[in-house]
Structure formats: structure tokens, C-alpha cells
Amino acid sequence: MSDAGTTSPTPEVRPVGRARLMDTQSFVFWVFVVAMVYSGIHVFSEITGSLVVQTLPAVAWWALVVWSTYAVAFLAIVYRHQLFVRRSPWVTVGALAWGGTVAMWFAMKANSAVGDIFSLWFSSDFSDDWGNAIAAATNEETLKALGVAVIVLLPLTRVRSTLDGWYYGMMVGLGFQIVEDYAYTVREAASLAEVNTFLFQRGLLAGLWAHAVYTGIVGAGIGFLVTRTDRPLVRRVLVAVGFFALAWFFHFLWDLPVINEMFGTGFGGFVAVILLKGVPALVTLLLVVRWARTYERSEWTAFVERCVDPSLLTPQEATDLLSRKQRTAARKASAAQGGHQAKGLRKRLQVTQLRYVQAVREEGPTSTAALAEADLIRRIRQDPAFV
């Protein structure tokens, strides 16, 4: 058993640093703060000025509980979807806040102006049928993408991969989505039951392929553009622009009213249209994540081979960590040999090894965090029940 503090295979590799949001050494950070405070005040006053909040506080509070719960559940799903890296909670909060305040407020103003321009140039019918969808897709996707760009521009957020862009994009989109859903609810719901209906319609039927998904696609493109410097610039730009165009199209399609009654006006037709509009976006996002994860997996493996003490993470254990399926298979194998307790220890070892690799990468093999995880790995191995 070796000491993690003395056995780093490549001590010349400098740690990348732990991600942080706050960086007073950047004007971008101050722009971020000012824009968020300014927009937050406006969004807050917009919401608290609604008739429901003023006259039906119980409905407003219930809507807040419902959408907060929804947000936590959605966030947990995305957070768990990270295979090798647990991204910074504070940067996550920053991304959510940008989506819920800055992107939200500026999009409200921009959508109103562009809708009006379409009415003036063409007609109110054109604006209703096409203009609103064009305005929302263009303004909202750009402003949410700007949130990802702001995070990239902050040096301490340590955006280093396509999947970093995907993750922070989803968080920006989720923040936007939740605040928008809440604003719609307190503007239109007149009872607790209607709040639940809103949750069902906007959260479950419509929310699975909405803003978070669109901005996840856009964010992956931005992540690829700025981090995959081993690829030609033209290719990276094309990927980023292409991903934005895809997200724009899915958003436009979702907001387009002219196909809403394509399958009739009944509930079946309603569901069919939602599936037609939403499923392609979700499938695209999953394909993008799969594509980006292929590289992440290779890069993680290369890092482990070069920089991680094999006594703390053996080649076989590293292979077992490459996918959720392989992780589960390794736990089942431990369970087959040592029962339930061995399975639990194997799971704990896997989680600790992932944290150890991240600590070595971010803070170095001699950091307090890495040494603590290394110590825990050794103690798990020494447990008599461990197989």
C-alpha cells in the first residue's frame, strides 16, 4: 500500500484548481453581479406585482413550493448525470441565477420589442403565428447562451470540457425555465388545483424538453468551442453554431402555434403534438451528451493512467468506473462474493475513488482533499467485508 502523497506518477502535472464562481479579479464577474441584481429586482417586482400574488397569497406560496420542488428534482437528475466530475455548487447556483434573472428579464423586454416590430412590419397575425416563436427562440437562446459565455469568461469557474458547457447550459436553462413557469403560474392560476395543473402541463408534459434541454445543447457547443483546442477552429465554430441552430429550431418549433392542432384538438392530439415537438430535442441532447462523454471517458482514463496511484485505483477498478453499467456490474460481482455489505463497500469505494481522482486533478496528489480520499480508500480496502 503506497502513500498517495508520495506516489504521484507525474508530479509535473499542475492541478487545474477547484472551480469557484467569485472572482473579483475579473470585470466580467462585476458585470455578472450588477446584471443579476438589476434583473433580479425587476423580475421580483414583476412577479410580486401579479394579481395572484397580491390577492391569493396561498396560491402564490403553493406555486413557489411546487416549482421549487420541481427544480430540486430536475437539478438532482442532471447533477447525478455527471459521470466523472462533480461540478462546483456555487458555479451551478450562478448559472441558475443568470437564467432566472438576467436571461429572463432581458428576454421579456426583447420579446416584447421584437413582437411589436413584427406587428408593425407585417401584421399582428404574422406576429402571433410566427413572430413570437422567432423572437422567443432568438432572444432567449442568445441570452441564455450568454450566461454560459459569462461562466466561460470567468477564469476560476474552470470550464474545461464540452460536458462542462452542457452542464452549465442546462443549469442556465433550468433557472430560466423555473422562473418562467412560476411567473406564468402566478399570473394565471386562480386556485391550488390550477397550480397543480400548471405543474402537470408545464412541468411534466412540457418541461422535459424545454429551456434546460435547449441550453444544454447550446452549452455543449460553447464548451466544445472553447475547450477542444486540439480541433481546428473552423470545426469548433461550426459545431458551436450548429448546436445553437439546432436549439433555436427546437425552441422555435415548440413555440410555433400553427402546428398545435395538427393531430386534432383532443387530449390525444395535444400529447401527440408535444411529443412531436419535444422528443427530437431531448434525443438530440442525449446524443450530444453521449458524444461528449466518449471524449470525457478517454480523457479521464488518460489522466488516471498518467497521474493516479494505481494502488489506489487499479486498472480494473478504473475500467469498472467508465460507465454506470460497468459500475453496477462491479457492485453485483462484490455482492455475489461478499453479500450486501460487500456491495455497499464497493459502491463507497467507487464514489471515493471518483472523488480522489477529481481531488488529484483539481488540487494535486498532496492536497488535503486528495490525501483524505486516499486514506478513506485504504480504510475501505482494509475492511474485512470488502471484496
Residues that bind another protein (CB under 8 A): 13-17, 23, 25-28, 30-32, 35, 102, 106-107, 109-110, 113-114, 116-117, 119-127, 139, 142-143, 146, 149-150, 153, 155-156, 158, 160-161, 230, 295, 298-299, 301-303, 306-307, 361
The dihedral region occupied by 156, where left means phi > 0, alpha psi between -120 and 50, and beta the remainder, is alpha
Least distance (Å) from another protein to the CB of residue 52? Answer: 26
In the complex with another protein, which residue's Cβ is closer, 68 or 112?
Answer: 112
In the complex with another protein, which residue's Cβ is closer, 116 or 375?
Answer: 116
Least distance (Å) from another protein to the CB of residue 106? Answer: 5
In the complex with another protein, which residue's Cβ is closer, 109 or 187?
Answer: 109
Least distance (Å) from another protein to the CB of residue 350? Answer: 21
Contacts 24+ apart (CB under 8 A), 378-381: 378/1, 378/312, 380/345, 380/348, 380/349, 380/352, 381/1, 381/349
Q: How far apart are CA 323 and CA 361, in angstroms?
A: 20
For residue 237 the three cell numbers come to 465554430
Least distance (Å) from another protein to the CB of residue 234? Answer: 20
Residue 48: exposure state from Cβ atoms within 10 A (0-12, 13-18, ≥19): exposed
Instruction: Decide: 145 and 211 in contact? Cβ < 8 Å.
Output: no
Q: Please list the alpha-helical segments (H only) found in the chain.
A: 27-48, 51-55, 57-80, 89-97, 104-121, 124-126, 132-153, 162-188, 192-198, 211-227, 233-255, 267-307, 315-320, 324-363, 368-382
Least distance (Å) from another protein to the CB of residue 202? Answer: 24
How far, in whole angstroms, is CA 243 from its chain's centroid?
15
| Residue 109 to residues 36, 115, 150, 210, Cα–Cα distance (Å) | 15, 10, 20, 20
Least distance (Å) from another protein to the CB of residue 123? Answer: 4
Least distance (Å) from another protein to the CB of residue 3? Answer: 22
